[in-house]
Structure 1
Amino acid sequence: MTKKIINILSIIGLAASLGYGIYLWKTGVLTSLSSLHTYVAGYGSWSALFFLAFQAIQVVLPILPGGLGCLVGVLAFGALKGFVFNYVGIVAGSLAAFALSRYYGRPLLYRFFSTPLIEKYDRWMEKKGRFARWLAVLIFFPVAPDDYLCFLAGTTTISWRSFTTIIVLGKPFSIALYSLGLTTLFTHLITWN
């Protein structure tokens, strides 16, 4: 039942984001980067706090693709601040996902994720000590199912310290690739004034 609710929330979140994006486009906010920055600055520090919370929550409840959040962060706040806000929010969400699965255990995985996905990554945990190495490698690259891996890690014997170290050191590279790569692609697709 939970998987179905998450899928529905994801569809609603994507539709709401598209709708809000169209609204911002029609009102002129998305016609240039300067218009977008002025709009975001109008909310003061609340815009940064809202964005940090959004990035953290989207790791635990994936309402939107994480890459989209990274793109929004860089476009709305600039390359450096956007990267920092993306990083802090995603790290906070990753730690929260780990904490939830550490508390609730494997039943939480089956409520949120598909059995084939769980079985695929369970094979990595067959040998003791292997999971932490694979986690470190996968978190470093932007193509892995990071959200799931954070939940999965909480059900293993990996320590809080090891998990936090892997997330803190491994996330910057993948977030930078998502943030800057998607921004470059986006700016090539859209002509900014």
Structure 2
Amino acid sequence: MTQQKKNKLLKIILLLLAIVLIFLFIRYAPAIFEILSSMDNFRDFIRSSGNWGPVLFIFFQILQVVVAPIPGEVVQIAGGYIYGVSLGTLYATIGMLLGAAIAFYFTRFIGRSWIERLLENKKYKWMSVLKNEKKLSVFLFIFFLIPGLPKDLLVFVAALTPIGSLRFFTLLLVGRLPWIVASVVVGTTIHQEQYGVAVIITLISIVAFMIGYFYKNKWIELFSKSEKKEEKS
């Protein structure tokens, strides 16, 4: 069997696996969302799992990255609530990186050809920044750093670009870690009934979220203008 046929077969297998996983998620989605419906439910489920608790916690964090409807903050706050700051941050970070790796390498292997067609559309001309690794790095870092932006979606998009894996995961870790820590600290302070600290961190997060959400188009315009100047020069 030629390498081309092997790659094609592997792609088919991966697509079938993805279909099976999507089916299983849809099938068990009510139970998953029930577990994540409150901090107490999630805490009780993780603690009832005994020694498997950290593994299941990491699994839910992976699932959150790969499946967008699951709110990441709930999982991360629960991590602080259950395990404290150190272990909560460690488990949440491991789950986030593993989930991102699954999404990144799966998407990269399946193919990037459609991104070229997308870049030809004038409506998405700002996305031409994806062709430039330096600009893309800045673009990704800003989006990973500001809360309220579609970070998990960007993992799939970045996989379709030429960016190196080491550079991408470094940007991802540095950009997302501060807010993972903040979410975990909120969970810990809630558990310790230090509500003042939790309120302060939550307010800072809300302000940062609002700035990120309402000004995300400004960043897109900034990159778009920069690209136009480069084309004229």
TM-score bracket for this pair, using the shorter chain length: 0.5 to 0.7
The letter for the 2-side match of 1:73 is G
In structure 2, the CA distance between the partners of 1:95 and 1:40, relative to structure 1 (3 Å rule), is: closer
Q: Distance in 2 between matches of 1:179 and 1:185?
A: 10
In structure 2, the CA distance between the partners of 1:21 and 1:50, relative to structure 1 (3 Å rule), is: closer
In structure 2, the CA distance between the partners of 1:185 and 1:126, relative to structure 1 (3 Å rule), is: farther
Q: How far does residue 171 in structure 1 lie from its aligned partner after superposition?
A: 2.2
Partner of 2:100: 94
Residue from 57, 60, 64 that aligns with 1:54? 60
Q: Report percent identity of matched pairs.
A: 23
In structure 2, the CA distance between the partners of 1:133 and 1:21, relative to structure 1 (3 Å rule), is: closer
Q: Distance in 2 between matches of 1:185 and 1:125?
A: 40
Question: Aligned pairs, how many?
Answer: 167
Q: Which moved more, 1:151-160 or 1:171-180?
A: 171-180
The letter for the 1-side match of 2:154 is L
Residue from 143, 162, 165 that aligns with 1:160? 165
Residue from 116, 129, 142 that aligns with 2:147? 142
Q: Distance in 2 between matches of 1:50 and 1:138?
A: 28
Cα root mean square deviation, aligned? 4.0
Q: Deviations over 1:120-165 (max 9, x none)?
A: 8725436563111110122123322111111111000101111121
1:91–1:171 CA contact under 8 A, matched in 2: no
Residue from 176, 179, 182 that aligns with 1:174? 179
Partner of 1:115: none
Q: Distance in 1 between matches of 2:134 and 2:36?
A: 45
**Equivalence map 1:35-54=2 (5 Å):** 40-54=46-60
In structure 2, the CA distance between the partners of 1:50 and 1:104, relative to structure 1 (3 Å rule), is: same
Residue from 60, 74, 77 that aligns with 2:80? 74
Q: Which runs of 5+ in 2 are unaligned?
A: 1-17, 116-122, 196-233
Q: Distance in 2 between matches of 1:121 and 1:49?
A: 40
In structure 2, the CA distance between the partners of 1:161 and 1:106, relative to structure 1 (3 Å rule), is: same
Q: Which runs of 5+ in 1 are unaligned?
A: 110-117, 189-193
Q: Deviations over 1:32-88 (max 9, x none)?
A: xxxx58x74453320000111121122112241111111221112222211111111
- Report the TM-score when normalising by structure 2: 0.57
Q: Which moved more, 1:160-169 or 1:40-49?
A: 40-49
Q: Which moved more, 1:178-187 or 1:46-55?
A: 178-187
In structure 2, the CA distance between the partners of 1:42 and 1:16, relative to structure 1 (3 Å rule), is: closer
Q: How far does residue 180 in structure 1 lie from its aligned partner after superposition?
A: 2.9
In structure 2, the CA distance between the partners of 1:84 and 1:108, relative to structure 1 (3 Å rule), is: farther
The letter for the 1-side match of 2:63 is I
Which protein is richer in helix relative to its size? 2
1:52–1:85 CA contact under 8 A, matched in 2: yes
Q: Distance in 2 between matches of 1:108 and 1:71?
A: 36
Larger RCO (CA within 8 A; separation ≥ 6): 1
Q: Is the radius of gyration larger for structure 1 or structure 2?
A: 2
